[in-house]
């Protein structure tokens, strides 16, 4: 068997403390999973979790320069806890969900907010607002033995040294186990899947030249510069 042209390389993410890399299959994201961010977006604080996705090749390593995307005047940052799965399945019980986890990372769900708001108005899909090139910076994945299952601790983001987002993982409306379980009622999960679990309040507009620094207590830090 041969291909008509060489296939794209396997997307992967570094694993902290290891030379081996985490091979990525799919990238899912949770919308509005912190009540204070849902409120700043004008949404119901008690909404059940909903999901969207980004292409795996939208991932970009921490420490990189990220090209400011075209077709937006309102690019915004969303710092998020990312769950990396080592196993999958469908219709997973919340009590079984954490057994699928390989580890955790710090990620950014970069968002073209102007396109997202226009899509919401028209009932259009969010893909071009959320799933553009380099829209998912991610730090090294901390394997479970190193990090445990972080359920509390600061989750923050600075732009050019100024604190913009400063939440706590305890504020997640839907916890990691609930997110995995609910997502698995829509799609079969598999090893290599990543789930961005939503962002706390404080999202704001960024521009070319800005330095974005983000972190989660016990999980790590992530820095990118927009160019």
Residues contacting Mn ion: total by CB under 5 A? 3
Instruction: Report, in Å, the least distance between residue 33 CB and Mn ion.
Output: 8
Of the candidates 225, 223, 222, the one whose C-alpha atom is nearest the C-alpha of residue 82 is 222
CB of 102 to Mn ion, least distance (A): 21
Bridge partner list, 21: 14
Task: Classify residue 33 as exposed, middle or buried by CB count within 10 Å of its CB (0-12, 13-18, 19+).
Answer: buried
Binding-residue pattern over the window 94 to 123 for Mn ion, x denoting contact by CB under 5 A:
---------------x--------------
Q: Does 193 bind Mn ion (CB under 5 A)?
A: no
* 218 contact partners, CB below 8 Å, separation of at least 6: 147, 148, 150, 153
Nearer to Mn ion, 72 or 143 (CB): 72
Q: Which residue is nearest to Mn ion (CB)?
A: 109
Shorter beta-carbon distance to Mn ion: residue 184 or 199: 199
Q: How far is the CB of 89 from Mn ion (least distance, A)?
A: 24
Tell me the C-alpha distance between 106 and 209, whole Å: 21
SS3 134: coil
- Min. distance of Cβ 1 from Mn ion in angstroms? 39
Stretch that binds Mn ion, among 3-11, 62-70, 77-85, 116-124 (CB under 5 A): 77-85
Contact between 212 and 78 (Cβ < 8 Å): no
Backbone angles phi and psi of 23, in degrees to 5: -80, 130
List 72, 76, 78, 173, residue binding Mn ion (CB under 5 A): 78
Which positions touch Mn ion (CB under 5 A)? 78, 109, 199
């Amino acid at each position: 068997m041969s291909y008509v042209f060489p296939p794209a390389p396997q997307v992967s993410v570094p694993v902290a403390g290891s030379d081996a890399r985490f091979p990525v299959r799919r990238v899912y994201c949770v919308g509005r999973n912190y009540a204070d961010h849902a409120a700043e977006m004008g949404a119901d604080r008690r909404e059940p979790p909903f999901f969207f996705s980004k292409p795996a090749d939208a991932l970009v390593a921490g420490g990189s320069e990220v090209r400011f995307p075209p077709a937006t005047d309102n690019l915004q940052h969303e710092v998020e806890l990312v769950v990396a799965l080592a196993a999958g399945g469908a219709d997973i019980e919340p009590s079984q969900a954490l057994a699928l986890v390989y580890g955790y990372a710090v990620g950014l769900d970069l968002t073209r907010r102007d396109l997202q708001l226009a899509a919401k108005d028209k009932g259009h899909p969010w893909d071009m607002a959320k799933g553009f090139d380099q829209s998912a910076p991610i730090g090294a994945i901390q394997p479970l033995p190193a990090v445990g299952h972080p359920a509390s601790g600061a989750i923050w983001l600075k732009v050019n040294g100024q604190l913009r987002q400063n939440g706590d993982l305890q504020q997640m409306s839907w916890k990691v186990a609930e997110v995995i379980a609910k997502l698995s009622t829509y799609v079969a999960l598999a090893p290599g899947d990543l789930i961005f679990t939503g962002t706390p309040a404080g999202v704001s507009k960024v521009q070319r030249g800005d330095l974005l620094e983000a972190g989660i207590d016990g999980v790590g830090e992530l820095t990118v510069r927009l160019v």
